A and B are shown apart, each in its own frame.
Chain A
Amino acid sequence: MEKERFEKVRKHVRSEAALEAGDVLNKIKDNFPDNPEGMNYFYDLLSRQFSEGILPKNGKKVIGTMCVQVPDELILAVDAIPIRVCSGSFPYDNAGAEFMPAKTCSMIKAIMGLFSVENYQKKFDMLVIPTTCDQKKKTTEMLTDMGYETYSLSLPSRKDNDNSRHYWQNSVKEFAADLMKKTGKKITTSNIKKAIDLKNNARYEFRRFFNLRKKSPSVIYGKDAFLVANAYFVDEVESWTSALKNLNDELEKRVNKNFSIVNQKTPRFLFTGSPPIFPNMKIPLLVEEAGGLIAVDEVCSSSRLLYDMPAYDEGALYDMIPAIADCYLKPCTCPCFVPNEERKDKLANLIDLFNIDGVIYQSFSGCQLYEMEQKLIGNFLMEKGIPMLYIESDYSKEDTGQLSTRIEAFIESIKIKKKSDLKGKRATK
């Protein structure tokens, strides 16, 4: 009886989630002109993810990860498939809200909803959750309680000293050992080298993509960029890389032809804060529908995901694994670190590189880290003279009207500023 009810709920939530995903995808596809051909792969992939489920079916071990700090290379080295299970789905968020505290962040609720509604216990061989924020920490325990195999990857709160660096390296080493035990496969120099190369290829293409986005006026919308990175969560690395390569080639042609999707006047935004994860593309879509362009982002579901590359000096495990560990810790600008000056530097650099007019800072209500860091970042940007719009929101659609007013007002104010800047420039000429 209980089982039957459960099955009913699952069916309902699943169909709702698929509906939501389809809806958002349609918006992404249809509300914008000139989508690159190369994006179709990603559109298809994400729609398949929600209609057919997120799991690959090739018999390999599947290891779920949360947060960018999980070193995928190790998982790839033991011939398992890493899948990032962070969810942006509102129906799952709703499902999670049934038993999660009201002030939990939407993403955590959605993750918990996903794992409580779907019976993934047997499909995931392990769920790796770094101890980034307090909510993720407790998520680990709750998932264990639900019968999932979890692994809590212990992350230090500081990254600016050697102690924490070594702590993290040890943490990763322990994880590698555990992974070997779990999968029964050994991590060797050659297979980890292969894994690093595999991921570095992806990173290389991702960086190319990143650099192509620098072109102003832009050749691609921010919403598409988010999708590309989001697809990485669930896709296999090789196919993702080759799809991105196609897209990059296409965009390169656009750049060479001087073709752009927006005009010179379009305000260029930097998106930062809590990660928009498909299908929660609420804010990026609102921004771009209102005539703005998200030129670049600084979120863990997109630019931060594949930007940093590990560099090992000696091709042996004693150097490669710490090198991998370092690359996930040191450049990371997650607000769970103290101090997090790097985030400011990173934002400043991105603002310069991408010719940014304004910053949009999203924070999920309940995500205290981003909520609190908003003030610091806001002050920093104010000093730099870059306007910032702070939006506190969640996965629900109910605040769309109010948000669109705020976003439009923000865009209008930037347009006015740009106009007067242009006038000033003309006057000086």
Chain B
Amino acid sequence: MNKFKKYINNVNISRFRFWFQIFAFIIMVYGGFLSIDIGENLPTFSCPYIDKGGGTCFLMGLQHRFTLPIDQLISFRGLAVLTSVLFFVSWFIFFNKAWCGYICPLGTLQDWFTKLRQKIGIRYSNYSEAKFKKLKKIKYILLGLLILIPIFMANSIPFIGKLSHDWAVPFCMICPGRTVLPLFQGDASQLVIDYGSKTKMIFTVLGMAITGMFFAGAFFKKRFFCFFCPMSALQFIFKKLGFLRLIKDGTKCTKCGDCYRACDMGIREIADDIESKDIIKDDCMMCFKCVAACPEEKCLKVNFLGKTIYEATEEGFYKRQKGKK
């Protein structure tokens, strides 16, 4: 058992993750061809615009479900929203935010961009602390909007009235997942500007602009889009329920910042917060690169239902650093 544990702790998690991501990508993007269907309340950006995906993103359904008059929303039909949230949460519980780091196809795609940049040897970019703090809020705003807009479609707002049907699935319209992921099935139909109505036109222009920025941004900035992802904001609400946990033992931390260096999301707390035990922050995607980069014995741990499955060790750190090319 100890030997096995040692093996696991010495493992190069980045390589494991790379292959796992490819596996997950195939399931999520091509799952339909393999008659795999995981459902439609997945806490990950597995886009419903992909014709034959293996499962779909919860946000699309969420936006649909909130297209209800308020009186119905608080009546039995609201239950539909509730049950879908329950489905979402039950998926989420198992892997917690590791959905982002291991399964999300859009995240995987961004990681591939990072790999490409690394191969070319171009320096990555980082936000400054102050900018980062501001940008972090965007995802909460997006989450708020993607719930409010559908509600305003079904309920009239003073002076404006009901929003037109063109406002449907507002987040999907600007999500690069919609434009980019179907390309992997050879479907480029989402790359158009829709002149059908002004709203649609603005949305599609916005969507294409974001797609353009996504390609350039993801090249320079690791996980460029994830800072704005409302899914990660939504997940963060339920983070306490997750079985999978990232645990930090602050007494062992020397604040050396090695984990912060490794963190693609630039989460400062991982290095500087020595108070909290449960260190998952809203941007965290649970890739566990920080655990792999921690040189302090048992300082960072990955727990599943309270059982440690992966932890930082001196030996593991040393071996991983040595094995780097």
**In the complex the two chains form, what is the Cα distance from A322 to B262 in whole Å?**
12
A316 touches B118 (CB 8 A): yes
Q: Which of these, B124, B251, B255, contacts A331 with CB under 8 Å?
A: B255
B254 touches A331 (CB 8 A): yes
A204 touches B318 (CB 8 A): yes
B253 touches A345 (CB 8 A): yes
Q: Is the interface of A mostly helix, strand, loop or mixed?
A: helix
Q: Given A161-B129, A162-B129, A309-B258, A196–B321 Cβ distance below 8 Å?
A: yes
Residue of B nearest to A161 (CB): B129
Number of B residues with CB within 8 Å of any CB on chain A: 32
**In the complex the two chains form, what is the Cα distance from A313 to B274 in whole Å?**
23
Closest beta carbon of chain A to B32's beta carbon, Å? 35
When distances are taken between beta carbons in the complex, the residues of chain A under 8 Å from B123 are 316, 318-319
| Interface flags, B254-285, vs A, CB<8A=1, else 0 | 11111101100000100110100000000000
When distances are taken between beta carbons in the complex, the residues of chain A under 8 Å from B198 are none
The answer, yes or no, to whether B121 is at the interface (CB within 8 Å) is yes
**In the complex the two chains form, what is the Cα distance from A204 to B225 in whole Å?**
38
Residue of A nearest to B128 (CB): A162
Q: Which of these, A308, A312, A318, contacts B256 with CB under 8 Å?
A: A308
When distances are taken between beta carbons in the complex, the residues of chain B under 8 Å from A53 are none
Q: Which of these, B271, B274, B295, B325, contacts A309 with CB under 8 Å?
A: B295
**In the complex the two chains form, what is the Cα distance from A196 to B325 in whole Å?**
12
A204 touches B314 (CB 8 A): yes
Q: Given A313-B262, A313-B293, A331–B256 Cβ distance below 8 Å?
A: yes
Provide a sorted-by-A list of 19 A–B residue pairs whose CB atoms are within 8 angstroms.
A193-B324, A203-B318, A204-B318, A211-B314, A308-B295, A311-B262, A312-B324, A313-B261, A314-B118, A314-B124, A315-B324, A319-B261, A322-B261, A326-B258, A330-B257, A330-B271, A331-B257, A342-B255, A345-B253
**In the complex the two chains form, what is the Cα distance from A211 to B293 in whole Å?**
19
Q: Which 7 A-B pairs have the closest CB atoms?
A: A311-B258, A331-B256, A330-B257, A318-B123, A331-B254, A311-B293, A162-B129
Residue of A nearest to B290 (CB): A311
**In the complex the two chains form, what is the Cα distance from A13 to B256 in whole Å?**
41
| Interface flags, A191-208, vs B, CB<8A=1, else 0 | 001001100100110010
A residues 290-327 near B (Cβ < 8 Å) are 307-316, 318-319, 322-323, 326-327
Residue of B nearest to A311 (CB): B258
Q: Given A309-B295, A316-B118, A200–B258 Cβ distance below 8 Å?
A: no
The answer, yes or no, to whether B137 is at the interface (CB within 8 Å) is no
The answer, yes or no, to whether A12 is at the interface (CB within 8 Å) is no
Residue of A nearest to B263 (CB): A313
**In the complex the two chains form, what is the Cα distance from A194 to B254 in whole Å?**
25
**In the complex the two chains form, what is the Cα distance from A312 to B324 in whole Å?**
9
When distances are taken between beta carbons in the complex, the residues of chain A under 8 Å from B165 are none
When distances are taken between beta carbons in the complex, the residues of chain A under 8 Å from B324 are 193, 312, 315
**In the complex the two chains form, what is the Cα distance from A315 to B128 in whole Å?**
23
Residue of A nearest to B249 (CB): A349
B254 touches A309 (CB 8 A): no
The answer, yes or no, to whether A265 is at the interface (CB within 8 Å) is no
When distances are taken between beta carbons in the complex, the residues of chain B under 8 Å from A330 are 255-257, 271
The answer, yes or no, to whether B317 is at the interface (CB within 8 Å) is yes
Q: Which of these, B256, B293, B321, contacts A200 with CB under 8 Å?
A: B321
The answer, yes or no, to whether A377 is at the interface (CB within 8 Å) is no
**In the complex the two chains form, what is the Cα distance from A62 to B61 in whole Å?**
67
A349 touches B251 (CB 8 A): yes
Closest beta carbon of chain B to A205's beta carbon, Å? 10
The answer, yes or no, to whether A352 is at the interface (CB within 8 Å) is yes
A313 touches B289 (CB 8 A): yes
Residue of A nearest to B132 (CB): A162
